[in-house]
A and B are shown apart, each in its own frame.
Chain A
Amino acid sequence: MNELEQFREETREWIETSCPESLRSSTGQRSGTTMGGRRFPVFAEPAEDSHLWLSRAVERGYCAPTWPREYGGAGLERAQAAVLREEMLRLGAPPPVVSMGLLMFGPTLLEFGTEEQKQQHLPPIARGEISWCQGYSEPGAGSDLASLQTRCEDRGDHYSITGQKIWTSGADVADWMFCLVRSDPGAPKHEGISLILIDMNQPGVRVSPIKLISGSSPFCQTFFEEVRAEKNALVGPLHGGWTVAKRLLQYERQGISSSGFMGPTRGTDAPPELAKRYCGTSDGKVADPIIRDRLARMEMDQHCFNSTVRRTADEARAGNDVGTASSIFKYKASEDAKKRGELMVAILGTQGLGWEGDGYEPFEIDQTRTWLRSKGNSIEGGTSEVQLNIIAKRVLGLPD
């Protein structure tokens, strides 16, 4: 047995003994996600088990498997981290904590942060203690992100921030925000932007949740009125935040594509089994031949997607250029997630049309809400159209 296979065996055993049964499911879908945090901690139900699972993972640094140990990670190789992910998926164990700190901000800070910033911010993220939100979009700056207007003024011993952010996921529960601000209003639009870290627990910060078509309010509007940030809170150079911001977006795209997508699932909640239950069977097959065809297409697409993620990692290790792979993943994962949502409600039939109350299982309501929520996948984190623009320009070399 080679080292990686040995690691797989140990990891599997650790998950079996460490992840409480109540959190595990065959589809990897859960009713809630643990986001951690200090001010308004978010833990999936049953919360006690979520706490336990988180604390066991923190002991090993497994919330941030590839981060160095000194910052709370486990210092794993990418191949080992992939094994950890695969085994968790296989055993239906949810990630102990899902956060923007882990997926987006942490990796960016590892790359661009000062030693002091890393020491201050990374370990609490890896322990799920501090939750972060992303201050990027503004009412007037969506796909054209660089036209953002939130002001950042130098007040000598600190910076003062005034403006408005929108679609700030989890801003109502976050402890900190990494925020794009206009630090030089006179410069060309890409050259006057800085990335600054803002403590959300202070006067002048106002957060108002936005209700979505799915009925939930994962996004907020955030208003800043003379909000304070320290002089050491800039990530990257003053006015040089756009490069850092783009790098962070790459991590975001990777995060969305890796978290939003499951491999072919087995067990009673797997889509084929649901199709048998809701559509009936004929000779042991899903009775509706078109649903059956769409299921096979979906499972195959997921397989090819997962293989492409694997191949890209392998090619990166082999030294081949995979620069814009994240745009491909973001585009494909979100388009496929929408198709999956459509297929799930199609499978449920009239049971996929419920909103709340009697007559529908919680699971069915959940599918319907997931279908609605999935429409945002191809909008958030850069629309599908923006991803296609990036691929056309950077990979295919098509001119503006």
Chain B
Amino acid sequence: MPLVHSEEQTLLREIARDFISEKSPTGELRRLRDEPDPIGFSKSLWKEMAELGWAGIPFAEEFGGADLGHTELGVVLQECGRTLTASPLLSTIALGGTAIDLGASEALRKEVLTGVCSGQRILAVAHQEQTRHAPYATETRATKTPSGYTIAGSKTFVLDGHVADQLLVVARTSGSSRDRNGLSLFLVDAETPGITRTRTLQVDGRNAARIEFRDVEVDGQRLLGEIDRGAEILDPVLDRATAGLCAEMLGGIEAAFEHTLNYLKVREQFGTVIGSFQALKHRAAELHVEIELSRSIVIEVQQAIDSGDEAVPELVSTAKARLSETAFLMGNEGVQMLGGIGMTDEEDIGLYLKRFRVQQFTFGDASFHRDRYANLRGY
């Protein structure tokens, strides 16, 4: 498949760019951060995004979805990334909705995805327990009871976990921590007794939650897929969400680069614009090269997901490592090139730097993905 967007995808990008730049410029993130907004994203904006069909992009029409692919979801996430728009696209669509779509029974898919596509239901996936991404390092236990399971343990860094209506909880039903086997996925109502959620305010103005599960009862019908084989759902879900995050990162990187480049063309020192200095030109050109490579892998990984390519895991790790490195470089070079003004809260580059830091770490940083890639390639 050619590594370019189709006409329809290009049109979707244009619509998304117009909508996002009008409704959600970077000032919107500042407002949410400074008020501070109790939710962390704008519910009315999310309602409008759902009306545009974005909440149902990768889901079937019978649930109210658009029956498109992750390439289209990536197009929208990339545009959201440009202005650092906070929305449940990652938590509810790329992660939660995808988990339901891939793993749940027909009845459960209908029940949950209908609400997701209409924008009314927020989902969160509770998988992480430690200070870094380690998908199988799960100590949270689910113990069999006569009617279902009891979940006990604690989760951290649950994206949109504090506002989610339902949680997808990764729990251990057999084996020991770090085993891929023995994990199971459960859909749990967030208000179930025994659940305590604490919102954590992050450096990027977004939020996540720590969640405690104290003997939380869950019905046996709420198990996704087969018992002990949750990783078979979790792996492809994380791959899809990571690819979506990469698209969001690309949007942010592009916007930060354009912003920085513009500054190089107007800021004068020593009687001329600083963009004429070779020291800065070369660094800008190097950034451009890294961004070009990032663009290629982002579209490639999304198309691979949509076409069911078996190389998806390798491609996802390649993409996440690449985008993490590029984001790191862009954030740091951006602040440096903007000089003193780049250190001020008023200047947007700092917002990008902070968001990049969180994105780099979410779903595994570059070294995590190089390790995973080497494992996948058998060395």
B-contacting residues of A (Cβ < 8 Å)?
Answer: 264, 272-273, 275-276, 284-286, 292-293, 295-297, 299-301, 303-305, 307-308, 310-311, 314-315, 317-318, 320, 328, 331-332, 385, 387-389, 391-393, 395-400
**A315-B3, A388-B281, A396-B261 are known contacts; what are 9 more A-B pairs with Cβ within 8 Å?**
A273-B379, A292-B371, A300-B322, A310-B296, A311-B3, A320-B4, A391-B285, A396-B285, A398-B281
Cβ A328 vs Cβ B289 within 8 A:
yes
Residues of A within 8 A of B152 (CB): none
CB interface residues, B 255-275, toward A, < 8 Å: 261, 264-265, 273, 275
| Complexed CA–CA distance, A292 and B289 (Å) | 25
Asked, given contacts A285-B379, A292-B379, A332-B289, whether A315 binds B284 with beta carbons under 8 Å apart, the answer is: no
Shortest Cβ gap from A78 to chain B (Å):
12
Asked if B293 lies at the interface with its beta carbon under 8 angstroms from chain A, I say yes
Tell me which of B284, B289, B300, B370 contacts A398 (CB under 8 A). Answer: B284
Q: Is the interface of B mostly helix, strand, loop or mixed?
A: helix
From B321, which residue of chain A is reached at the shortest CB distance?
A: A300
Tell me which of B2, B278, B289, B374 contacts A314 (CB under 8 A). Answer: B2
Cβ B289 vs Cβ A399 within 8 A:
no
Cβ A293 vs Cβ B371 within 8 A:
yes
On chain B, the number of residues with a Cβ less than 8 Å from chain A's Cβ atoms is 39
| Complexed CA–CA distance, A395 and B284 (Å) | 11
Cβ A328 vs Cβ B292 within 8 A:
yes
Q: Is the interface of A mostly helix, strand, loop or mixed?
A: helix
Shortest Cβ gap from B247 to chain A (Å):
15
| Complexed CA–CA distance, A320 and B292 (Å) | 14
B4-30 interface mask toward A, CB cutoff 8 Å, 1 = contact, 0 = none?
100000000000000000000000000
Summed over the interface, the residue pairs from A and B with CB atoms below 8 Å come to a total of 121
Residues of B within 8 A of A395 (CB): 285, 288
- Between A and B, 9 residue pairs with Cβ closer than 8 Å are A296-B371, A296-B374, A300-B322, A311-B295, A314-B2, A315-B3, A328-B292, A388-B285, A398-B275
Asked if B328 lies at the interface with its beta carbon under 8 angstroms from chain A, I say no
| Complexed CA–CA distance, A320 and B4 (Å) | 10
CB interface residues, B 1-59, toward A, < 8 Å: 2-4
Cβ A392 vs Cβ B284 within 8 A:
yes
CB interface residues, B 288-342, toward A, < 8 Å: 288-289, 292-297, 299-300, 317-318, 321-322
Cβ A295 vs Cβ B3 within 8 A:
no
Cβ B276 vs Cβ A399 within 8 A:
yes
Shortest Cβ gap from B310 to chain A (Å):
15
| Complexed CA–CA distance, A284 and B375 (Å) | 9
Cβ A317 vs Cβ B2 within 8 A:
yes
Asked, given contacts A292-B379, A395-B288, whether A314 binds B3 with beta carbons under 8 Å apart, the answer is: yes
Tell me which of A296, A308, A400 contacts B292 (CB under 8 A). Answer: A308
From A384, which residue of chain B is reached at the shortest CB distance?
A: B282
Residues of B within 8 A of A272 (CB): 374, 377-379
Asked if B176 lies at the interface with its beta carbon under 8 angstroms from chain A, I say no
Asked if B286 lies at the interface with its beta carbon under 8 angstroms from chain A, I say yes
Asked if B177 lies at the interface with its beta carbon under 8 angstroms from chain A, I say no
Asked, given contacts A317-B2, A398-B275, whether A276 binds B296 with beta carbons under 8 Å apart, the answer is: no
| Complexed CA–CA distance, A29 and B279 (Å) | 36
Cβ A331 vs Cβ B289 within 8 A:
yes
| Complexed CA–CA distance, A396 and B258 (Å) | 9
| Complexed CA–CA distance, A398 and B281 (Å) | 7
Residues of A within 8 A of B295 (CB): 308, 311
Residues of B within 8 A of A400 (CB): 276
| Complexed CA–CA distance, A392 and B375 (Å) | 38
Cβ A398 vs Cβ B318 within 8 A:
no
Cβ B281 vs Cβ A389 within 8 A:
yes
Shortest Cβ gap from A287 to chain B (Å):
10
Asked, given contacts A385-B282, A388-B281, whether A318 binds B4 with beta carbons under 8 Å apart, the answer is: yes
Cβ A293 vs Cβ B293 within 8 A:
no
Cβ B261 vs Cβ A315 within 8 A:
no
The 6 closest A-B pairs by CB, nearest first: A392-B281, A311-B3, A272-B379, A296-B370, A314-B2, A391-B285
